Amino acid sequence: MLSGTTNGRIATEGFRALERTTGVPLADLSEPCAGDRISFRDAQVQPRTVLTSPEWSGIEAHGRRYSPFTINVEREKPWHTLSGRMHFYVDHAWMLELGEGLPVFRPPLVQRAIFGDQGAGDGSGRRELTLKYLTPHSKWSIHSEYRTTCTCSRCSAALTELQGKRGGTDNSLTHIVMKPTHFIGGYGQLSYAFNYYGPTGSQRDEVTVLRKREAEVRFQ
């Protein structure tokens, strides 16, 4: 009920607020659906197409699939940057100090140097499979929320087999590593927003060692 993607009234109010700050007509994108609601029960019956909302940048109407920034391009809504335009250069002092004022290539993180031995070659003789793991999501959650479901809570309380530590991010297939640039706030597009904040994704490129668990599952 609090998201414009499932509550047409919220979406329309959001677009009207954007009209006042941008001077661009936008409310017509959601006004035909202002009375629509998508409940959890609706989603249980069958998949639903979400509503066009100012929370995202795509237009989802008349059978269109989501494509980012269509509202910016087709309706001339300013980008959420200091200039209001799409740009590649960020002049924040931290960005410049780290050499990231412009997009640059960063090689994959050396995970063992950061986190230590993750179990490969532990002398147990067990079969292992080493993979290059690619995902924008962590193992236990989606974006910055949805951590309190029964399944996620149960998995997060499992103890690791080799080290006996708590599960969750300690036993995750991927590690989310924060960069100093993650802590830049209130500077154009570099600001936290509910549900998503990800100027970079170090968890998208790492090596993961998989082994079949032999010990009994224990919970903390």
Instruction: Give the whole-angstrom CA distance, residue 98 versus residue 140.
Output: 31
Distance set, CA 1 to CA 8, 52, 71, 133 (Å): 9, 15, 23, 35
Instruction: Give the whole-angstrom CA distance, residue 217 versus residue 209.
Output: 19
Burial-class residue 211 by CB neighbours within 10 Å (0-12, 13-18, 19+): middle
pLDDT at 192: 67
Extract the tokens encoding 48.
């639903």
The tens digit of pLDDT for each residue in 106-129 reads 777 676 676 666 554 556 677 888
DSSP code string of 107-150: PPP-HHHHH---STT-SS----EEEEE--SS-SS-BTTB---SH
Q: What is the mean pLDDT of residues 159-177?
A: 63
pLDDT at 205: 63
Give the distance from CA 140 to its chain's centroid. 13
pLDDT at 130: 78
Extract the tokens encoding 3.
């998201």
Query: If you ran DSSP here, which 8-state letter would residue 190 be given?
Result: B
Domain boundaries in the chain? 8-75, 106-220
In whole angstroms, how large is the CA radius of gyration of the chain? 22
Please state, for a pLDDT cut of 70, what percent of the chain lies above it.
68
The tens digit of pLDDT for each residue in 139-149 reads 555 554 555 66
pLDDT at 203: 57
Q: What is the mean pLDDT of residues 197-208?
A: 59
Query: If you ran DSSP here, which 8-state letter would residue 34 be given?
Result: T
Distance set, CA 108 to CA 31, 71, 112, 133, 204 (Å): 46, 34, 12, 11, 9
Query: If you ran DSSP here, which 8-state letter would residue 84 be given?
Result: S
19 or 218: whose pLDDT is higher?
Answer: 19
Q: Which residues pair with 209 in a beta bridge?
A: 130
Q: Which residues pair with 37 in a beta bridge?
A: 7
Instruction: Give the whole-angstrom CA distance, residue 209 versus residue 185.
Output: 35
The tens digit of pLDDT for each residue in 27-52 reads 999 999 999 999 989 988 988 888 99
pLDDT band at 170 (very low <50, low <70, confident <90, very high): very low
Q: What is the mean pLDDT of residues 54-59?
A: 91
Distance set, CA 70 to CA 162, 168, 193, 194 (Å): 49, 37, 20, 21
